[in-house]
Chains A and B, each alone.
Chain A
């Protein structure tokens, strides 16, 4: 389980994350909600071990973030992470070299399921196809915690169903998934917990079903209210 307490990340003239305390439990899907620039990506990068927090503590199963936790945490950044010369098969190989938990069979399955071809060049992919490739590569890892930054960005309605199906297939009682998005309505049905972030701080966090019952509003409506 991921535990963060009072996480802060400040840059010279900007505080990206200002005091986030959040636990991520196994077997659950979380939505990290907030407009662009609210701190979602910085938080994910801290968890992935790519950014060092300025202050606060963060542990995964009691261990500080480091080489060991990186092996169990799969992070998908918003930007594409493959080189232009690569084919989809190359992307799979590249990932296999990097991560012990990468399952090439699962990767092949996901690629097929998403209507991609192993021989396609990564460079020639439209934004929607590139988004699917990123998802396939990340979810082909048998990780314990998946961090998907804006998995539905640039994804059309047909591709969205593919992406959501792949995410639901990756969900099980031993793994957790954190999805960031500013497109809330697409996530409403698939999440256990919602975390609303505004200007680097958590403004609301809890079980989606409970939030809906207590406030008498959908997550979508709450989002509009919080960020209007």
Chain B
């Protein structure tokens, strides 16, 4: 069983999809690795089995995984695809951050200074 804190305001399939994508980016799921069946994915995240199938369809449409008939679903071996989602995910994080900081009235220079200062502190 997997402890994913679900947010009731975001569609469940998107939350699990993002979780799998970040597993691929972090290397928790390796290129070419066999993925859980849709059924086992449903049990792991305790979600609806049809939602689990939909998640795999979505991942396949984004070419992050592929299905070998009779063998199962595997993580893409295309490193470029992995880099793409990594970039996509980091862009989303940065955009949210910048938007929030802009609303608080910080300038670009202030942001850069604050980030480098805090980054050092770790």
Contacts and interface: CB of A to CB of B under 8 A. Distances in A.
Interface of A: 27-29, 161, 164-165, 168-169, 171-172, 188-192, 209, 212-213, 218, 220-221
B97 interface: no
Given A161-B1, A165-B1, A189 B46 contact: yes
Interface of B: 1, 6, 8-9, 11-13, 39, 42-43, 45-51
A152 B13 CA distance: 24
A169 B11 contact: no
Contacts of B47: 189-190
B40 to A, nearest CB: 10
B50 A169 contact: no
A192 B12 CA distance: 12
A213 B8 CA distance: 11
Contact of A164 (B8, B11, B46): B46
A189 B11 CA distance: 10
14 contacts: A27-B50, A29-B48, A165-B1, A165-B46, A168-B39, A171-B42, A171-B49, A172-B39, A189-B6, A189-B46, A191-B48, A209-B11, A220-B8, A221-B8
A192 B8 contact: no
A212 B39 CA distance: 23
A218 B7 CA distance: 9
Nearest to A208: B48
A187 to B, nearest CB: 10
Given A165-B43, A220-B8, A192 B48 contact: yes
A220 B8 CA distance: 8
Contact of B8 (A27, A169, A190, A218): A218
Nearest to A171: B49
A115 to B, nearest CB: 14
Contacts of B1: 161, 165
Given A29-B48, A29-B49, 5 more contacts: A164-B46, A165-B43, A188-B6, A209-B11, A209-B12
Given A165-B1, A213-B11, A218-B8, A190 B48 contact: yes
A212 B51 CA distance: 14
Contacts of A168: 39, 42-43, 46, 49
Nearest to B15: A189
Contacts of B46: 161, 164-165, 168, 189-190
A169 B44 CA distance: 11
Nearest to B45: A189
Contacts of A161: 1, 46
A190 B50 CA distance: 9
A25 to B, nearest CB: 11
Most buried by B among A171, A189, A190, A220: A189
A171 B9 CA distance: 26
A153 B11 CA distance: 26
Most buried by A among B39, B43, B45: B43
Nearest 3 Cβ contacts at the A-B interface: A218-B8, A189-B47, A171-B49
